[in-house]
Amino acid sequence: MERERMDFHQALEFLAQRAGVELKLNINNNIKSNKSNNKASLYDIMSLASRYFENNLKSDGTAQAYLARRNLNLNQAAKFNLGWAPRAWDGLLKFLSSRGVSEAQALSAGLIIASERGGFYDRFRGRIMFPVKDISGRVIAFGGRLVDGEGAKYINSPEGEIYSKRSNLYLIDQAKNFMKTCGRAILVEGYMDALRLHLNGFNETVASLGTSLTEEQARLIKRFCDTCYICYDSDEAGQEAALRGMYILQSCGLDVRVVKIAVGKDPDELLSSPDGVNLFNQALSNAQPLVLHHLAAIKKYLNDANKRRFGVESLLNGLAQLEPIDIAPYLYNLTGALNLNPENLWHEIKTRKRKRHTPEPQNLNSLNNDNNNLNNFNELECALLALLWHSQELRRSIIDENINIIDENMDLNKLLELIDPEHEDIADMLAAILTEGPDILEERWLSLNETHYLSLISRGDEFLRNIPNSISDIKAKFDAICSVLKARKLTKRFNELKLKLNSGSATPDELMEYCAAAAKIKS
């Protein structure tokens, strides 16, 4: 798509054309704003903030004492550009202002927060600062760890123009070449886990920015290696996150292994102990592949008559996401544990494959195979779900009338009107995302082993990747998709009225509606 060099207007027309809808809209030419310059200035601002935090760390005794308790000295901290955010409410704000950075720019970078009483204050205060860098080594976000007192243990930069947590990994800039050299990545949860592994020679380590691993992060790992060792916390929540992440990684073509370490320990704690490096190397050597790990995870359910069905369904639904070649080496382990012969096992897996199967996401070039098939718009609806799922700012702009990042006052009812009435599951899911939020929904779906809705999100993500690069940010993508869905709705209604008109069954009101729709389509 990049080689087609389309602007927003051209890309929007391209999207509609491929979807089989005639779309003639007045696009504001100012939409081609100087975004590249804005991004460049944001990178500069984040770099300034990082140097400010680093300098503070060199002179703050409280911060240095905390690092000492975590077995980190200043030289080690400097290797990862760690810093310190003072407790003052506006220390960073004043520093940035002295360097010519406006409040609006600092706000756009996610470094300050607007006060309800007016004015601004620093987002990070009294925290050890972990800069998050993109693959090129540019600072794009921060994570702040509270040292003492009340408050969230960690707070992180909000997503924005240069930062998307689902598309980045902590320390990817330092780890990428080592991943290439050794052919593997080690994936952990936390900043400190990743730092400790690097300091002990495991330089191929990266950390997910949250426990919910995404397909974008999996593809980023796949760019540099073919094997991923996933090492999340040994508590139950950590292992559940590891299991979900394994399927995402596996689907992206990685050979995935799960690393188990001593109960109650995380990688940072283990490697801080005597002989920690040897113990971690042993854990890597004993890492289990996806199928065997899942089988071990449900063993407690298989041995309980009341919970056996849940365990079996969990495993079979997982296996249904894999290719036969990934299952075959463990066939006898599976048949023995499930008390099924191979033929019956394959039958059960194939049955679940059919139940969970949805058509593969179409790229833009394939959407015009049948211009009259309005079901092609499933991908657009899924893409709308994906945008709302990942963007808190977009959700808030729809729920809260005082927040407007979109061009018009779009509320839940207006969005639901854009969804094809036949797609009730998508409409229900859209309403749930806006009213309950992704975190609650994901926890509920996973507890019920419900993967259908998450597959719709994944399908939407895939479609969004096919949208031309000129539609770059979330707002532009949202506007483009809503525009085409509106045109779809108008076209469908126009065709319905046309049939009525041709059959002589149209009412006077429907005739007027037909004329109005025709005028809109031709305008």
Predicted confidence (pLDDT) per residue in 263-274, tens digit: 667 899 889 888
* Stretch (H or E) spanning 228: strand 227-231
Q: How far, CA to CA in Å, does 194 sit from each of 19, 152, 342?
A: 44, 21, 41
**For residue 39, pLDDT beyond 70:** no
One-letter identity of residue 226: D
Among 44-58, 283-297, 312-326, 416-430, where is mean pLDDT lowest?
416-430
**For residue 7, pLDDT beyond 80:** no
What's the rounded Cα separation, in Å, for the pair 315 and 295?
7
Higher per-residue confidence, 407 vs 324 = 324
The candidate with the shortest Cα–Cα distance to 346, out of 323, 379, 380, is 323
What's the rounded Cα separation, in Å, for the pair 469 and 355?
34
Could you tell me if residue 151 is left (phi over 0), alpha (psi between -120 and 50 degrees) or otherwise beta? Answer: left
pLDDT at 38: 65
What's the rounded Cα separation, in Å, for the pair 510 and 493?
10
**For residue 28, pLDDT beyond 50:** no
Q: What is the sign of the dihedral through the CA atoms of 80, 81, 86 and 90?
A: negative
**Quick check: helix, strand or coil at residue 463?**
helix
**For residue 243, pLDDT beyond 80:** no
**Quick check: helix, strand or coil at residue 323?**
coil
The count of C-alpha atoms lying within 13 angstroms of the C-alpha of 302, restricted to the half-sphere facing its C-beta, is 17
Beta pairing partners, 255: 227
| Angle (CA) 211 213 215, round 5° | 170
What's the rounded Cα separation, in Å, for the pair 461 and 379?
9
pLDDT tens digits for 507-523? 777 777 777 777 776 66
What's the rounded Cα separation, in Å, for the pair 205 and 377?
40
| Tokens of residue 86, six digits | 């003072």
pLDDT at 373: 35
- Can you tell me the mean pLDDT for 24-29? 39
**For residue 368, pLDDT beyond 60:** no
pLDDT at 343: 85
| Sheet containing strand 227-231, strands side by side | 169-170, 205-208, 184-188, 227-231, 255-258, 288-289
Among 50-54, 61-65, 244-248, where is mean pLDDT lowest?
244-248
What's the rounded Cα separation, in Å, for the pair 440 and 410?
23
What's the rounded Cα separation, in Å, for the pair 219 and 159?
20
pLDDT at 132: 97
Q: How far, CA to CA in Å, does 9 sit from each of 143, 232, 348?
A: 37, 44, 48
Could you tell me if residue 322 is left (phi over 0), alpha (psi between -120 and 50 degrees) or otherwise beta? Answer: beta
The strand pair at 112-114 and 120-122 is best described as antiparallel
**For residue 411, pLDDT beyond 80:** no
- Can you tell me the mean pLDDT for 29-38? 45
Mean pLDDT of the chain: 80
pLDDT tens digits for 276-329? 899 999 999 999 998 999 998 888 888 888 888 888 888 888 888 888 888 888
pLDDT tens digits for 71-123? 999 999 999 999 999 999 999 999 999 999 999 999 999 999 988 778 899 99
Give percent helix, percent strand, percent coil of the chain, each to the nearest 5.
Answer: 60, 10, 35
- Can you tell me the mean pLDDT for 341-367? 63
pLDDT at 320: 86
What's the rounded Cα separation, in Å, for the pair 16 and 249?
32
pLDDT at 30: 35
- Can you tell me the mean pLDDT for 433-462? 73
**For residue 407, pLDDT beyond 60:** no
- Can you tell me the mean pLDDT for 222-226? 94
- Can you tell me the mean pLDDT for 220-224? 94
What's the rounded Cα separation, in Å, for the pair 44 and 138?
9
Residue 188 backbone phi and psi in degrees, to 5: -125, 175
pTM equals: 0.63
**For residue 164, pLDDT beyond 80:** yes
pLDDT at 470: 53
CB atoms within 10 A of CB 82: 23
pLDDT at 280: 94
If you compute the radius of gyration of the chain from its CA atoms, what whole number of angstroms results? 26
What's the rounded Cα separation, in Å, for the pair 139 and 162?
9
Considering 135-144, 158-167, 255-264, 335-344, the range whose residues carry the highest mean pLDDT is 135-144
pLDDT at 176: 95
Categorize the per-residue pLDDT at 359 as very low, low, confident or very high, splitting at 50, 70 and 90. Answer: very low
pLDDT at 52: 97
The candidate with the shortest Cα–Cα distance to 206, out of 254, 135, 147, is 135
**For residue 208, pLDDT beyond 50:** yes
**Quick check: helix, strand or coil at residue 239?**
helix
CB atoms within 10 A of CB 485: 22
| Residues in CB range of 128: below 8 A, 6 or more apart | 57, 63, 66, 67, 82, 83, 84, 144, 145, 147
**Quick check: helix, strand or coil at residue 66?**
helix
What's the rounded Cα separation, in Å, for the pair 485 and 147?
49
Q: Is there a contact between 459 and 382 (Cβ–Cβ < 8 Å)?
A: yes
